Each structure stands twice: as structure tokens, then as C-alpha cells.
Amino acid sequence: MNTKGISRPSTDDTHESGKDGASGHMVRPPATGHLPSDAPPPAAHTGMALVVLLVGAFLAPLDYFIVNLALPSIHAGIDASDAQLQLIISAYASAFAVLLITGGRLGDLFGRKRIFMTGMAGFVIASALCGVATSGTMLVGARILQGLAAALMVPQVLATIRAVVPLHQQTKIIGFYGFVYGLSSIVGQLGGGALITYRPFGLDWRAVFLINVPIGLLAFVGAWKTIPENRQPTRTKIDMIGVVLLSLLLLLLIYPLTHGREAGWPLWTFVMFALSVPVFVLFIGFEQRIVRRGGFPLVDLQLFRNPAFSIGLVVAFLFYCNSAFFLTYGIYLQTGLHWTPLKAGLAIMPFAIGFVFGPLTSPAVVARIGTHVLTLGFALLAVGFTVTGWAALRHSEPGLVFYVGLVCAGIGHGLVFPSVMRVVLSEVAPEKAGLASGVVNTTLQIGAAFGIAAISGVFFGIVQGQDTPRAYAHAFEGSLSINAVLLAACVVLSVMVVRHQQHRALQLARENRALKNCA
């Protein structure tokens, strides 16, 4: 990572922070002026500032994935229920999703360094609370705090990079950011298995949370010493009512999804589902009202008039619903096949090999087939999960076919991951690119929370009362079948996006020719 000569903010700033908390990719709006940093760092310190920022970018997704292999140990250690095990992951993702856009706005208003440090401090405290939790309820509550802290921390990373890194170096560093963000999923699976197996300092599952404390403290001090304060010059208001309504909407959907099956689907679950409809209508109406008044809504509904963006959001949502794969895979191997956490962590390597191979080949694939890369990636994911599920059901232990399916799925994931943001935002107006990327990020996180609640609910429903390897194989195959169906839908939707973009390109070409003829 080249950081030579980075000693002052660039002249770039925008209405939004231009962040992409999910994939590390950003569509760059045009420069509109700048506000110099309050305290530009010496050149020697700026490389360390980037390291600190990347640590913040790494920790947030790491704690989403590192917990997967700890769930069986958490279940045994504090007698957490199946619903609480789902909430340990989905509550984190939901809290992260709800405040992701707001976190960026807070950085714009009060200073990105200040909010980054606040988020890091909150993340450290929440991680410590997770590590000392004595019940499933306490752990879920601490995970919510952890997700909220991550939502403050993550949006400041790209926004600060854009403010302190010269324009000609930003592409390389943002690309490295995307690699770090993606790598966290693999390190999380492996690291979680290793920590539970080797039990550092005699700790059990608590180590996966407590390891954040020393790392976060060092990053907090590093941020204080090296990161320059920066904010956007245009002050914007926080849509707090939008935040509350969106939070309520997620609660009404995700809570009954995670608790309904275990409770026998009582009346209150259907009441909550029904109440989500008027809350959704109220949220849309309030956001429209803010737009009419010239304010700054949590979600700019004007974006949805673009078919490519609207369809692309559905694609992004369905894609991240498949985050449930990591949860069900870990439980299938550990609880179903009685593998050790370390062995289960190593079993993600075939998927990781494909995941690394996908981005390496992505530029060549894009050069040859363009935006059809999404269609190819989703098809490989669907086929890979189908093959893996078939092999799990027909063989008592994972074998060659099982792992070939995982490699195929990993390659597909690696092709989709760096491309989905770029394709979805391709037709968004430059001045709205930052806000649009925040909307896509939020959609991704909501998709992850919803997928974990729904798909893992099916998984636990199949194995309920059947503690046998065969039952867990059935459950894993069933969850992968749902994943494959969602990904097949993504194949169809991605074709629709490509066709729309091709039609739009032809339309623009005709308009340009007409203008030339008139001239």
C-alpha cells in the first residue's frame, strides 16, 4: 500500500460520505469543495492512520463471521436457545444496518475522527460485555450495542480516506479496503475455530469477543494520534424519525421470525407481521414528506425511480440473505458431524479458495462479458450450493463432490462480491452516489439479518428433536436449497438489469447521434 506523500486532505468532499460498508466499493461523486482537516497529520503518520482505519473496517465484518463457529459452544456454555443463537448474529446485522447511513451523517456533522473513535470505544465496551455475558439475553443485548457501535465506526473509514488521501492514490487504497473487508469473512471462520479449539488464557467461546478489546484499544489510541479530523462543509440534519421507524420495522419482522418457530407460532407473531405493513407505509410517507420539504431523508425514495437501481436492490438483498450459509455450515459440521471448531473452520477453505480466485479473475471476466459477470457469478453460486447440498445428503462425510461444490460457490461469490455495488449504482446520478451506496449497504445488512432469521429458522425447524447426523444433513441441504432458489432468482433479475442497461446505452447512443446531426 503506497502512502508516500500523503500529508493533507484532498479537495474532495460530497453531500454524502461515499461509503460502502459491505463490499468496499464506491462510486465517486464529483468534488464540490472541501473543509480542511483540523489537524493534518505528518506524512510519517498517515500510513499508520490508514492502518488504523483498515483495522476498524476489518473488525466490524470479522465479528459478524467469527461468531458462527462459536454458536455450539455458546449454546452449551450459557444454555442459549436456538432463537437466541440466531439473534446473536441477526441482531448485530440489524443494528448495524439501521444506523449505517446515520453513522455516516453523524461523521459529516460532528467530525469523522470523533465519530470513528466513539464507534471504536463503543465496540470495545460492547465486546467486553459480550465476553462476560452470563445469559443468552445479555449476549444478544451486547451484540446489539456492538452492531450500533460498528455502524458509527465503519462509514468513517472510506469518508476519511477520501478526505486525507490524494485522488491519484485513492483507487488503490479503496481496492485494498475491499480486499480487507472480504478477507474478514474467511479470517472470521478460521479464527473463530482456532480460538475455541486452543482456548487462549483458558477462555472458551468468550475469546472470540474479548480478542477485540486489546485490538480496539490500540486502534483507539492510534486513531487519536494519527487520524486527522475532517467533516463535510454542508451541514445536514439527521432523520431520527426515519431511524426509529426503520428500526421498528426491522423489529416487527425479525423478532417473530427468530422466535416464532420455537414458540409455536402464537398469535403475537402474526400480529407483529401485520403491524409491519402500516409501519412500512408510515416510513415511506414520512421519507416522501422530508423530500418534498427539501430535507435529507434516511432513504431518498427518488432513487427507486431508476429500474436498474430498484431491481439491483432486490438482487443485493437476496444475495446477502445467503449469509445464513456460514451459520448453518458451522452448526452442521460441529453439532451434526461432531467436528472440532478448528476442523470446521478449516472446512471453509475450499469456499475461501474460490472466493480469492473470483476477484483475481474478475477483471478479465468483466472485460470479456461486461455486466453479465453478475449473472455468471450468481449461476455459479446456485450450482455450487446445489451440488454441496446434494453431496451432504447422500454421503455421511464431506467428500470431493461436496468440496468441489464449495469451490464453485466460492468462485461465484468472488465474482459477485466486487461487482454488485458497481452494477447497481451504474445509473445513479453522481450527486446522489454517496447516499445511494449507503442505501445499498443498508439493504445488504438487512438481507443478511433477514436471511439468517428465515433460513436458519428452517434449518433449526428440520433438526428439532432429531439429534442425528442425518437430520443435520437434511437441514443443511434444505437451507442450501433455499439459498439456491434465491440465487436462481438473482440470475433472472441480473439479466433484467443487464437488458435495461443495454437498452439505456442504445437510447443514449441514439440521442448523441441526433445531437451530432443537429449540430
Residue 20 has a pLDDT of 40
Mean pLDDT, rounded, for 485-490:
94
Q: Given phi > 0 = left and psi -120 to 50 = alpha, else beta, which region is 296?
A: beta
The top-scoring range by mean pLDDT among 216-220, 258-262, 356-360 is 216-220
Residue 18 has a pLDDT of 40
The answer to whether residue 424 scores a pLDDT higher than 90 is: no
The top-scoring range by mean pLDDT among 116-130, 233-247, 402-416 is 116-130
Residue 161 has a pLDDT of 79
Question: CB 225: neighbour CB atoms within 10 A?
Answer: 12
The answer to whether residue 427 scores a pLDDT higher than 80 is: no
> Over the stretch 55-94, which tens digit does the pLDDT of each residue have?
998 998 888 888 878 888 899 899 888 888 888 988 888 8
Distances (CA, A) of 309 to 18, 236, 304, 377: 16, 24, 6, 19
Which string of b and e fits 329-362 if b means at least 16 CB within 10 Å? bbbbbbbbbebebbebbbbbbbbbbbbbebbeeb
Residue pointed to by grid coordinates 429458522: 457
**Cell triple for residue 338?**
461432531
Which string of b and e fits 102-124 if b means at least 16 CB within 10 Å? bbbbbbbbebbbbbbbbbbbbbb
Looking at the domain covering 1-238, what would its CATH class be? mainly alpha
Question: CB 326: neighbour CB atoms within 10 A?
Answer: 22
> Over the stretch 189-234, which tens digit does the pLDDT of each residue have?
788 888 888 888 888 899 999 999 999 999 999 999 888 887 766 6
Question: Which is higher by pLDDT, 46 or 474?
Answer: 474
Q: What angle do CA 429, 435, 440 make, to 5 degrees?
A: 100
Percent of the chain whose pLDDT exceeds 90: 28
Give the chain's length.
519
Nearest to 161 by CA among 32, 52, 247: 52
User: Please, is 85 exposed, middle or buried when counting C-beta atoms within 10 Å of its C-beta (0-12, 13-18, 19+)?
Assistant: buried
Residue 70 has a pLDDT of 86
pTM beyond 0.85, yes or no: no
Nearest to 337 by CA among 219, 468, 441, 151: 468
Specify the 3-state DSSP secondary structure of 32.
Answer: coil
Residue pointed to by grid coordinates 451459520: 327
What band does 9 get if pLDDT is binned at 50, 70 and 90? very low
Q: What DSSP letter does each residue of 283-322 carry, written as one string?
A: HHHHHHHHHHTT---SS-GGGGGSHHHHHHHHHHHHHHHT
Q: How far apart are CA 174 and CA 69, in angstroms?
A: 30
> Over the stretch 139-150, which tens digit does the pLDDT of each residue have?
999 999 999 999
CB 394 within 8 A of CB 386: no
CB 447 within 8 A of CB 105: no
Q: How far apart are CA 489 and CA 314, in angstroms?
A: 10
Indicate the CATH number for domain 303-519: 1.20.1250.20
